[in-house]
């Protein structure tokens, strides 16, 4: 078993990993940037080492520094968390070459799934429908026009190495295609050092549905239900829930069958997510995230599991705790992401509690929210027996949550959660724009 684990990340996910490690009897080493000295993950870890300046490129994205610290502090494993280096196959390789355990799937699996063009082809091979579009990279304007005309407008241009909603352009008419193709490709080059783009049909107001998967690395695959992440602002998730109010039993069965086949064939190890867009009775594969995700708590709450503990255990060679197969879900869980709208010092923090409430964060009263990193400062999750009750409970807990000193999106989350559209369960990714007339 692992004795000492380095967390190549910060904030809320690093705190979450430390908690799992404590329960497993694993000591933890945190890395941090010069700006993050007061971060809760630094205070909670058994040891913490500063690895550089505040910009991520100079600290949390420095793969060599993370490996050097891991070796220097006698770690035997590295957990990459989410974002930063978590889907970086070269980093995974470096970790393994240094003789350390990588908490994630094999580097070649990350590489295959990280290329959205190859990932689409893999999904098709396992019987999963993909949105109509180019089945590979689009290299010329003429080719793009032909594909877009075949799919029908609107279309979306996406970066093959993209993520986090970056490098996506929606095109409504042919006259705008050439210009957007150029912009998307140069954005992709700038953000991901890879200008490769592809084209898909743009679905209007679809649902975003994803499956939480755990693999034992030998072909055994557990599906811990679906999550609905349709409530988004600018293609970024805001509210996630499990189960999804918009997935029929037939759709769920088809999605799960395809996912089990794909992850089993890849001999997938650890936690992963397969994302789909659903429209009416149809669904389409979007991508696989070869890591744990921010919204994993909703799946933990409806399956009574500890995804991160299982992920670490499986990667350390322990048997998978989750039974292979598709798990039944108990009750309903809803998560609201709490984002800071600007940097600043938190003066007061009142944390909600009571039955069925979970609050995951790395901030505390007197903590200064920094301008350098993701704006998410906490996740508030509510569980109850039905969707209606879980949403009511989340609204009750949002009322209890008080954060003074920095502006947040708490008010906006309450507006969404109490809107008739959200409560009806019939909504898609256009909900935010509909409510706030964006
Ligand atoms: P990223 O990896 O950058 O997060 P995704 O491919 O996961 O990008 O897509 C993020 C979001 O963008 C989706 O949840 C959805 O709202 C929107 N989106 C992506 N592809 C399409 C599409 N073909 N049609 C409609 N919306 C899309």
**Cα-to-centroid distance, 220 and ligand 1 (Å):** 29
Mean pLDDT of 336-362: 98
Q: What are the angstrom distances between the C-alpha of 393 and each of 243, 294, 419? A: 16, 21, 15
Percent of the chain surpassing pLDDT 70: 100
| Beta pairing class for 27-33 and 47-52 | parallel
Tell which atom from ligand 1 comes closest to the C-alpha of 166: 3
Residue 209 has pLDDT above 90, yes or no: yes
Mean pLDDT of 168-186: 95
**Cα-to-centroid distance, 132 and ligand 1 (Å):** 14
**Cα-to-centroid distance, 275 and ligand 1 (Å):** 9
Looking at ligand 1, which residue's alpha carbon is closest to its atom 9?
Answer: 165
Contacts of 19 (CB under 8 A, 6+ apart): none
* Best residue among 202, 277, 285 to mutate for probing ligand 1, ranked by most atoms within 8 Å of CB: 277
Residue 193 has pLDDT above 90, yes or no: no
- Confidence band of 9 (pLDDT split at 50, 70, 90): very high
- Confidence band of 438 (pLDDT split at 50, 70, 90): low
Identify the residues whose C-beta falls under 6 Å from ligand 1: 131, 156, 162-166, 200, 202-203, 206, 208, 232, 235, 275, 277, 286-287, 429
Catalytic annotation present for 291: yes
Looking at ligand 1, which residue's alpha carbon is closest to its atom 14?
Answer: 208
Q: Which of 207, 252, 291, 337 is catalytic?
A: 291
Contacts of 397 (CB under 8 A, 6+ apart): 352, 353, 354, 357, 359, 380, 382
Whether the model pTM is above 0.85: yes
Q: 397 near 354, Cβ under 8 Å?
A: yes
pLDDT at position 162 is 79
- Confidence band of 351 (pLDDT split at 50, 70, 90): very high
Average model confidence (pLDDT) across the chain: 96
pLDDT at position 160 is 85
pLDDT at position 371 is 96
pLDDT at position 87 is 94
pLDDT at position 166 is 77
- If you search the block for the tokens 């029929």, which residue do you land on? 248
**Segment 383-437, tens digit of pLDDT:** 999 999 999 999 999 999 999 999 999 999 999 999 999 999 999 999 999 999 7
Rounded to the nearest 10 degrees, what angle do helices 107-114 and 89-97 cross at? 170
**Segment 127-167, tens digit of pLDDT:** 999 999 988 889 899 999 999 999 999 999 998 887 777 77
Looking at ligand 1, which residue's alpha carbon is closest to its atom 11?
Answer: 235
Nearest one of 354, 356, 355, 397 to 378, comparing CA atoms: 397
- Confidence band of 116 (pLDDT split at 50, 70, 90): confident
**Cα-to-centroid distance, 235 and ligand 1 (Å):** 6
Looking at ligand 1, which residue's alpha carbon is closest to its atom 22?
Answer: 202
Nearest one of 128, 118, 76, 80 to 99, comparing CA atoms: 76
């Amino acid at each position: 078993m692992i004795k000492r684990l380095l967390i190549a990340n910060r904030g809320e996910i690093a705190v979450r990993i430390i908690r799992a490690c404590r329960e497993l009897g694993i000591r933890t080493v945190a890395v941090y940037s010069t700006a993050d000295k007061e971060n809760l993950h630094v205070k909670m870890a058994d040891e913490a080492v500063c690895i550089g300046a505040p910009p991520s490129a100079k600290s949390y994205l420095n793969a060599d520094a993370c490996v050097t610290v891991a070796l220097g502090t006698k770690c035997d494993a590295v957990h990459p968390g989410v974002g930063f280096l978590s889907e970086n196959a070269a980093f995974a390789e470096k970790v393994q070459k240094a003789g350390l355990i990588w908490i994630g799937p094999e580097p070649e699996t990350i590489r295959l799934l990280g290329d959205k063009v190859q990932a689409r082809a893999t999904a098709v091979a396992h019987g999963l429908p993909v949105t109509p579009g180019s089945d590979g990279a689009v290299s010329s304007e003429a080719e793009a026009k032909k594909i877009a005309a075949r799919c029908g407008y609107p279309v979306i241009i996406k970066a093959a190495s993209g993520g986090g909603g970056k490098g996506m352009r929606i095109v409504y008419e042919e006259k705008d295609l050439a210009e957007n193709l150029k912009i998307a490709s140069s954005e992709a080059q700038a953000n991901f050092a890879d200008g490769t783009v592809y084209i898909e049909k743009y679905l209007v107001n679809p649902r975003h549905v994803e499956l939480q998967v755990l693999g034992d690395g030998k072909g055994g695959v557990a599906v811990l239900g679906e999550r609905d992440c349709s409530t988004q602002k600018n293609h970024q998730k805001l509210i996630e829930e499990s189960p999804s109010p918009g997935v029929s039993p037939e759709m769920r069965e088809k999605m799960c069958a395809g996912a089990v086949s794909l992850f089993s064939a890849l001999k997938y190890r650890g936690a992963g997510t397969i994302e789909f867009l659903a429209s009416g009775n149809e669904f389409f594969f979007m991508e696989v995230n070869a890591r744990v995700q921010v919204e994993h708590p909703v799946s933990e709450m409806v399956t009574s599991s500890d995804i991160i503990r299982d992920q670490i255990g499986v990667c350390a060679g322990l048997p998978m705790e989750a039974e292979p197969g598709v798990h039944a879900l108990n009750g309903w869980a809803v998560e609201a992401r709490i984002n800071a709208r600007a940097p600043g010092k938190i003066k007061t923090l009142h944390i909600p509690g009571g039955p069925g409430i979970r609050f995951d964060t790395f901030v505390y009263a007197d903590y200064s929210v920094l301008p350098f990193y993701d704006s998410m400062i906490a996740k508030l999750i509510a569980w109850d027996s039905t969707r209606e009750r879980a949403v009511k409970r989340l609204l009750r807990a949002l009322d209890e949550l008080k954060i003074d000193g920095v502006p947040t999106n708490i008010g906006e989350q309450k507006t969404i959660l109490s809107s008739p559209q959200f409560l009806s369960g019939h909504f898609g990714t256009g909900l935010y724009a509909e409510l706030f007339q964006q």
